[in-house]
Structure 1
Amino acid sequence: MMLDLLKPRSWFAPPHPLITKNREIFAHFDQSRPLTDYTFVVCDTELTGFDLKRDEIISIGAIVIRDLQIDLGATFHQYIRPKNTTHTQATLIHRITPQQLAEAPPLEEVLPAFVEFAGNSLMVGHCVALDMGFLNKAARKILGGTLSNPGIDTIRMARGYRRALSGHFHGEEDWSHNYSLGALSKEYNLPAFKPHDALEDAMQTAYLFLFLLKKFRKGGLLTLKDIYQAGRVGSLWS
């Protein structure tokens, strides 16, 4: 089995059992249940850059939220060895050394473990489409298919919350506001974690997510479908 996981999969090969199981889990996904019924995996990836064709994942960090509480006993953090382990501007920002990357396992080993960790949870991220773009690119190559976990973007949640505060539910987006993870966390007086570290950024995002969920629930939004409809904060990936 381990040898199979290390081999890139052909475009014409059947999907890996992890992908088959993932698809079965979300084949009849129900958005109408109370938010407390769902498990969330808040994830962050550190990248060599933002070019989906050229750049690579060098770290994945994730934590679990159950019953709308952070489960400190359920975390995932792994450096990943890219094809090029020399310093880039991105690795300097992340403070990851070439030696750390050279000693890390390749994505072919890390990705299956992360998919198992995510399980039947919803994916939460700050600009979650970026993280999922890179994860799904890797999943296609390594596992023969993409992940079906529904996703929630805390940037979209924050924009929806700001529209609600201003009373402009259907107005034009205020692009002048700073929606970075650090700026929003400071604005809402959330605990501060070390930036540019996958696990620390996942933790920072988790605090922001729970803060916004609390505000949304106070406004009467009690199901996942309510959250999606109110702020258009997420979508199901095909």
Structure 2
Amino acid sequence: MSKFTWFSGRGPALTQLQLQRRGKLAEPCALDERPLQQQRLVILDLETSGLNMRRDQVLSIGAVVIDNGAIDLSQQFECTLQRLDHQASASTLIHGIAPSEIANGEEPAEALLSFMEFVGDSPLLAFHAEFDQRMLARALKQSLGYRLRHAFFDVAEIAPLVCPKANLPHAGLDDWTAHFGLQVQQRHHASADALVTAELALILFSKARQQQLDSLPALLQQLNSRRRQRAHSM
């Protein structure tokens, strides 16, 4: 048996063990009416080589878990992906990951398999989630031939929805952390950003419950309604 299995076209080459692991990845769970405090949620942050979602690459992944209404520090994920052709750029000044660290990182297929095993069937949260979702989906497709179908929630959308009086409609993560007085250990570091995003999410979930938005479907319904209102006002 060959060590590698080649997919047609420009698909990735994976070992038999990697194929088996990919085949065992959990199907994403359907959103249900359980209270937010009973959900397992994975809070994700990516550091990338740039902001071009078609060209740039995922360099590191950081994630923490909210489970039973609290951040479970026993469930954390952190990984730097190997990119042999990576060179220092303007983005290096932001994320601070040295080219040598990236060259010695974990092979992308292994890193991404480990991350999706960590995620399991849980929904994902991120700040400005569209970027993380699209970058992760492209990395998974390129390295694993895997289609990402997990639900994503954007903390940057939830915040103004449940805190309209904050008057921060287009605020960034720094603005919201300052608004709630949260301490950030290290900005533009995937694990640190994931942790502070999780802290912010817990505050927002508490406010959501006070507004009878105590499930993921209820939150999604209100987010969709807000999107439609904004689209009609443009």
Distance 1:25 1:125, change over 3 A: closer
TM, length-normalised to structure 1:
0.82
Which residue is equivalent to 1:206?
198
Q: Which runs of 5+ in 1 are unaligned?
A: 167-173
Distance 1:62 1:186, change over 3 A: same
Q: 1:143-173: CA deviations, max 9, x gaps?
A: 223222211100110121243x38xxxxxxx
- Does the 8 Å contact 1:63/1:75 carry over to 2? yes
Which residue is equivalent to 1:185?
177
Which residue is equivalent to 1:226?
218
TM, length-normalised to structure 2:
0.83
Residue pairs, 1:14-53, within 5 angstroms: 16=19, 21-22=24-25, 24-26=27-29, 29-53=30-54
Residue pairs, 1:107-186, within 5 angstroms: 107-163=108-164, 165=165, 177-186=169-178
Distance 1:226 1:55, change over 3 A: same
Distance 1:191 1:185, change over 3 A: same
Q: Aligned partners of 1:88 and 1:8: how far apart in 2? A: 33
Over aligned residue pairs, what C-alpha RMSD do you find? 2.7
Q: Which runs of 5+ in 2 are unaligned?
A: 12-18, 227-234
Q: 1:45-78: CA deviations, max 9, x gaps?
A: 0001111221111100000110010011111111
Q: Aligned partners of 1:11 and 1:152: how far apart in 2? A: 33
Q: 1:192-238: CA deviations, max 9, x gaps?
A: 2310100000001101111100111112221111111123399xxxx
Q: Aligned partners of 2:134 and 2:27: how far apart in 1? A: 21
Overall identity of the aligned pairs, in %: 28
Matched, 1:92 2:66: no
Higher relative contact order (CA 8 A, sep 6+): 1
Q: Aligned partners of 1:233 and 1:198: how far apart in 2? A: 31
Q: Aligned partners of 2:225 and 2:190: how far apart in 1? A: 22
Distance 1:59 1:226, change over 3 A: same
Matched, 1:82 2:83: yes
Which residue is equivalent to 1:169?
none
Count of residue pairs brought into register by the alignment: 219
Distance 1:154 1:92, change over 3 A: same
- Does the 8 Å contact 2:28/2:123 carry over to 1? no
| 1:19 to partner: Cα distance | 5.5
AA aligned opposite 1:65: I
Secondary structure of 2:91's counterpart equals helix
- Does the 8 Å contact 1:40/1:65 carry over to 2? yes
